[in-house]
Copies of this chain bind each other. A is one copy, B any other.
Amino acid sequence: MVTNATAPPNAFVPPAVDIRALTALLDGEYAAVRDLVRTNLSTYASVFEEAESLGIDEFRERVRELVVALAATGQTGMGFPKEYGGGGDVGASIAAFETLAFGDLSVLVKVGVQFGLFGGAILQLGTERHHAAYLPDVISGKLMGCFAMTETGHGSNVQALGTVATYDSHSQEFVITTHGDQARKDYIGNAARHAELAVVFAQLEVDGRREGVHAFVVPIRVGGAAAPGVRIEDDGRKMGLNGVDNGRIWFDGVRVPREALLNRFADVTPEGTYESSIESPNRRFFTMLGTLVQGRVSVGGGAVNASKVALAIATKYAVRRRQFEADAGSEEQLLLDYGMHQRRLLPLLAATYALHFAQDVVRTQLHEVFSGIKDDEQARRELESRAAGTKALGTWHATRTIQECREACGGAGYLAVNRFAALKADSDIFTTFEGDNHVLLQLVAKGLLTDYASEFEDMDQLGMVRFVTGLAVETVIEKTSVHKLLERVRDLLPGGDDWDQEAGLLDPDYQLAMLRYREEHMLAGVARRLKRGVEDQKAHPGAVFSRVQDHVIAVARAHMERLVLEAFTDKLRAMPEGGNKTALRLLCDLYALSTIEADRAWFMEHGRLSVQRSKAISREVNDLCHKIRPIAVDLVDAWGIPPVMLRSPELIG
């Protein structure tokens, strides 16, 4: 749909968008499972009213019912082996989860807890005896469980957790105990009400020796009551996600049989000998944690789709709502015809498309690693890094987008009957759970700085600082993939190092080269600062890290933005010519240039952007917004959000 009235005065003609074809492109190979989820979402759309009208206890029960009902359709078990009743398709399971994020997010998160965290831990950390015993009932939702990793005193630093599992070789049991209140498990989804089992992460102690963090299957509830030695407390009302029953768990000498250890990577013999195929405790720990990466991939993708809902509502509202007269005596002007309103919404629209394609990449990598298509050490490390970074960018994007869209819908956006209230409250914690975003970006930076060295998983922050300071800055840089890319760019583009001042702003090679240059330069800067701090100033690595931390976060973000843009340009390159390609080209340009614009100070500070060109980029961003405005509604329609998910009867009519 092209609104002629809003066509700019110059000759630009907006591309004709084929919405159906664009939806097919976005859904990709998982169209079938996404459509299944769309159908399910529409079937159970009453959950929105239930979230408001039911008390917290009733709503928790209702969400449980819905999760079980969804399980019966097969949508939630896509990632489990077929032999246990699953779908045997990891990628499809992520796609299903992403699509479910169009709906109520309590349902989404409870699905994530049950099938991703709890079921995923049994699948990934356990062996056949656990699979056979639990998976069929986990997949059907008959057996509910929880994932008891986080402790009150240790959110992001899992290695330091305080729960202990001591092996008793006489009884051939593990004895699990919470040492001190900081070591209680906390914020655990499914714990307050529904979980019968918990996968409990604890420090394994065998024969007086600490072997690091391991996971155990522990019954926490029997016949609805807490199991002996287990104390459970309700976390109570939360900002959002009140359909999920989060709670705290304490263990007081709880005994579980030797076989309760999820023993894929380590085991204890009946006699009490600890055995593992992975020698380094650190690497063992990170290997175990690495298998749980799909939670991060899921949350990042879910966040992007939650953003789509907000943007779809705000965009549709902005082409209905009028405000103030454009001409004296004429009708008031549509919100989306205001330059400022375009500036508020359309770069977010472009970023949402970009993040969608970046999510495609990380989902594919996950699928390849976990289906054994491409599963080596390097691939796993790159996956973990990309999953961490994509999750951070996607969830921050959701927080920002939902807020901007609420404000762009004014007072109507504040009413619960529209969707922003729940979207905002429910998605808020996404930036924290499955790894705090800042901590995740530090993980990304560690990978960049060490080039995923073989010692990579063995390193904590201080190890990383020591590793980097042991290398020449040039060595750090030469190893990075962006360095190799940049060398190629320099060869390709005329003008040598002057490429940036010559190329057209809409040249994708220019846009990519800018983001690659920034990443490489920032990386060198961090390496130099770390070395200088430790070598010249003789400061403690911890203090040096703290001082350089904002640069560490910045380089990780720059890296991720580069990967996001590459995902978008790769997608575009593969598209056939036509209206849809032209439309996505506009979005890709807007994403690239608004990303550069947001950090244009950095580019000027580092000699990669002249003042004139910086201003030209801002003008081009405005122009792109103006060009996208007539097709904005088509672009949000292409996401294929079931109309009933937009709710907002008063906002979008």
Inter-subunit contact B410/A399 (CB<8 Å)? no
Are B425 and A340 in contact, CB atoms less than 8 angstroms apart?
no
Are B543's CB and A326's CB within 8 A?
yes
The answer to the question of A338 belonging to the interface, with a C-beta cut-off of 8 Å to chain B, is: yes
Which residues from B are CB-within-8-Å of A58?
A: none
Q: How far is the CA of A111 from the CA of B607 in the complex (A)?
A: 55
A460 with B325, Cβ < 8 A, contacts A236-B415, A550-B339 known: yes
Distance in angstroms between the alpha carbons of A411 and B437 in the assembled complex:
12
Judge whether A294 is part of the interface by a CB distance below 8 angstroms.
no
Flag if B239 contacts A416 (CB, 8 Å): yes
Q: Are A150 and B421 closer than 8 Å at their CB atoms?
A: no
Assess whether A403 is interfacial by the CB under 8 Å rule: yes
Check if A540 sits within 8 Å of B157, measured CB to CB: no
Query: Which residues does chain B contribute within 8 Å of A553, judged by CB atoms?
Result: 340
In this complex, the interface size class of chain A, counting residues with CB under 8 Å from chain B, is 35 or more
A57 within 8 A of B: no
The reply to whether the CB of A356 lies closer than 8 angstroms to some CB of chain B is no
> Known interface pairs A542-B326, A605-B611. Does A411 touch B150 (Cβ–Cβ under 8 Å)?
yes
Residue of B nearest to A55 (CB): B55
**A345 CB, nearest partner CB in chain B, Å:** 13
Interface residues of A in 150-198 (CB under 8 A from B): 150, 152, 155-157, 160, 186-187
With both chains docked as a complex, state the minimum distance between the C-beta of A232 and any C-beta of chain B, in angstroms. 16
Q: Which of B157, B417, B428, B600 contacts A332 (CB 8 A)?
A: B157
| Shortest CB distance A416–B (Å) | 4
Residues 594-637 of chain A: 1 if any B CB is under 8 Å from the residue's CB, otherwise 0? 00000011001111000100110000001000000000000000
In the complex, residue of chain B having the shortest beta-carbon distance to the beta carbon of A424: B239
B410 touches A155 (CB 8 A): yes
Is A337 within 8 A of B546, CB to CB?
Answer: yes
Complex-state Cα separation, A413 to B187, whole angstroms: 11
Contact of A340 among B155, B543, B549, B622 (CB under 8 A): B549
Residue of B nearest to A626 (CB): B547
By the criterion CB–CB under 8 Å, are B432 and A343 in contact?
Answer: no
Chain A binding surface SS class: helix
- Is A324 in the interface zone, CB < 8 Å from B? yes
Q: CB within 8 A of A429: which of B156, B326, B414?
A: B414
Nearest CB of chain B from residue A431's CB, rounded to whole Å = 6
With a cutoff of 8 Å between Cβ atoms, the chain B residues found around residue A550 in the complex are: 339-340, 343, 622
CB distance from A321 to the nearest CB of B (A): 8
Q: How far is the CA of A228 from the CA of B428 in the complex (A)?
A: 45
Residues in B neighbouring A411, C-beta threshold 8 A: 150, 155, 186-187, 429, 432-433
Interface string of A391-423 (1 = CB under 8 A from B): 000000001000100110011111111001100
CB of A327 within 8 Å of the partner chain: yes
Instruction: Let me know if A9 is at the binding interface, CB within 8 A.
Output: yes
Is residue A328 contacting chain B, with contact meaning CB distance below 8 A? yes
Which of B156, B333, B399, B415 meets A235, CB within 8 Å?
Answer: B415
List B contacts of A240 (CB < 8 A): 414, 421
Residues of B within 8 A of A461 (CB): 324
How many Å from the CB of A56 to the closest CB on chain B? 10
Interchain CB contact (< 8 A) of A407 among B236, B338, B414, B432: B432
Does A436 sit within 8 A of B, measured CB to CB? yes
Interface status of A539 (Cβ within 8 A of chain B): yes
Q: Judge whether B549 and A338 touch: CB under 8 Å.
A: yes
Residues of B within 8 A of A615 (CB): 605
Which B residue's beta carbon lies closest to that of A417? B236
Min CB–CB distance A507 → chain B (angstroms)? 22
A437 and B403 alpha carbons, distance in the complex (Å): 14
Q: Identify the interface centre among A343, A415, A550, A604: most chain B CB within 10 Å of its CB.
A: A550
Rounded to whole angstroms, the CA-CA distance of A328 and B650 in the bound complex is 58
CA distance A606 to B611 in the complex (A): 8
Hey, which chain B residues are within 8 Å of A532, CB to CB?
none
- Known contacts: A237-B52, A605-B611. The answer to whether A160 contacts B9 by CB under 8 A is no
- Chain B CB within 10 A, most for which of A327, A413, A414: A414
Cα A544 to Cα B355 with chains together (Å): 33
Say whether B9 contacts A539, CB under 8 Å: yes
For residues 426 through 469 of chain A, which have their beta carbon under 8 Å from a beta carbon of chain B? Answer: 428-429, 431-433, 436-438, 460-462
| A611 x B604 contact (CB < 8 A) | yes
Is residue A548 within 8 Å, beta carbon to beta carbon, of the partner chain? yes
Question: For the complex, what is the distance from the CA of A607 to the CA of B614, rounded to whole Å?
Answer: 13
Would you mind naming 24 contact pairs between A and B with Cβ atoms under 8 Å apart?
A: A9-B539, A157-B323, A187-B411, A235-B415, A237-B415, A239-B406, A239-B414, A239-B415, A327-B540, A338-B549, A339-B548, A340-B438, A340-B553, A343-B550, A406-B428, A407-B432, A407-B437, A411-B432, A414-B432, A421-B425, A604-B605, A604-B611, A604-B614, A605-B614
Closest 7 CB pairs of A and B: A326-B542, A239-B421, A237-B416, A601-B601, A340-B549, A339-B549, A187-B411
